[in-house]
Amino acid sequence: MSDGTVYLVGSGPGDPELLTLKARRLIDEADVVLHDKLPGPDILAEIPDDKREDVGKRAHGEVTSQQYINERLAELAHEGKDVVRLKGGDPTVFGRGGEEMLYLAEHGVTFEVVPGVTSAIAGPEVAGIPITHRDHASSVTFVTGHEDPDKEESAVDWAALAAGGGTIVVLMGVTRLPEYTAALVEAGMDPETPVAMVERATREGQQIATGTLATIVDARDGAGIEPPALTIIGDVAGTRERVVDFLAPTETTDD
């Protein structure tokens, strides 16, 4: 029997209508779909139970190891199965798709990466925030907020971002919001810089909080923003208040 193919597929930010046609077809045709929770309930509900394998968080908060996922992908392909590894947003934007590509190549498995709509762009957009704008920002940086900015070896150089002048989109940055907003102000960014947070973009329960570097922590707490959420920092975040009255209500809007 010949080996199967692994498809590293992005599911988009959660609205099933933002799943690509190719993702939809590959999910339908796959023998097995390995997923975690990030694709969201609406998309996961459409996958038949008999071909779903949940490799997300286990009971008691344990997380399935990346090593297990890598090995399982290769094992299934070597058994001749066509496998979809379904990931929220785009598979290589903080999605560990890069690690899976390397592992599969090293183990002789044929794979294809199927891009998805990343939440890092879609989240701001549905809140009325363009990540670039001729008058406000000609660059954008996607960063993880998971790291402690006070850590000496932090992989994110917040001072360099503060000096850069472009839009900063923080993923996984709900808990450490106080630390990295303080780090940006300390590095010289104006405390009045507009900031927005978008939780569950394009899904049921979507919530948006707005403020400035100085006020966003209170706004987060006031709105009860929880993961998954994005933080958008920069003048573009101020666009929302100029357009919000004209944003068509969606089934997911909750603000």
Ligand X SMILES: C[S@@+](CC[C@H](N)C(=O)[O-])C[C@H]1O[C@@H](n2cnc3c(N)ncnc32)[C@H](O)[C@@H]1O
Q: Which residues are designated catalytic?
A: 36, 57, 172
CA distance 166 to 206: 26
> With contact defined as beta carbons under 8 Å apart, do 222 and 172 qualify?
no
Q: Which of 89, 149, 234, 238 binds ligand X (CB under 6 A)?
A: 89
Contact between 234 and ligand X per CB under 6 A: no
Q: Which stretch binds ligand X (CB under 6 A): 19-27, 69-77, 149-157, 195-203?
A: 195-203
- The DSSP string of 108-165 is T--EEEE----HHHHHHHHTT--S-BTTTBS-EEEEE--S-TTSTT-SS-HHHHHHH-
Q: Which stretch binds ligand X (CB under 6 A): 23-31, 48-56, 199-207, 233-241?
A: 199-207
Where on the phi/psi map is residue 33: left (φ > 0), alpha (ψ -120 to 50), or beta?
beta
The binding track of 143-182 with respect to ligand X, each residue x by CB under 6 A or -, is: ----------------------------xx----------
Q: Which stretch binds ligand X (CB under 6 A): 86-94, 151-159, 238-246, 247-255?
A: 86-94
> With contact defined as beta carbons under 8 Å apart, do 149 and 183 qualify?
yes
Would you call 171 helix, strand, or coil by DSSP? strand
Structure tokens at 147: 């790291």
Angle between helix 66-78 and helix 97-106 axes, rounded to 10 deg: 50
Contact between 118 and ligand X per CB under 6 A: yes
Nearer to ligand X, 81 or 206 (CB): 206
Q: How far is the CB of 116 from ligand X (least distance, A)?
A: 7
Q: Which stretch binds ligand X (CB under 6 A): 45-53, 55-63, 81-89, 213-221?
A: 81-89
Contact between 198 and ligand X per CB under 6 A: yes
Q: Burial of 134 by CB count in 10 Å (0-12 exposed, 13-18 middle, 19+ buried)?
A: exposed
Nearer to ligand X, 192 or 204 (CB): 204
CA distance 202 to 254: 10
Nearer to ligand X, 58 or 190 (CB): 58
Nearer to ligand X, 9 or 213 (CB): 9
Nearest in space to 88 (alpha carbons), one of 50, 115, 66, 127: 115
Q: What residue is closest to ligand X based on CB? A: 89
Nearer to ligand X, 10 or 166 (CB): 10
Contact between 205 and ligand X per CB under 6 A: no
The residues binding ligand X (CB under 6 A) are 13-14, 38, 87-90, 93-95, 118-120, 123, 171-172, 198-203, 227-230
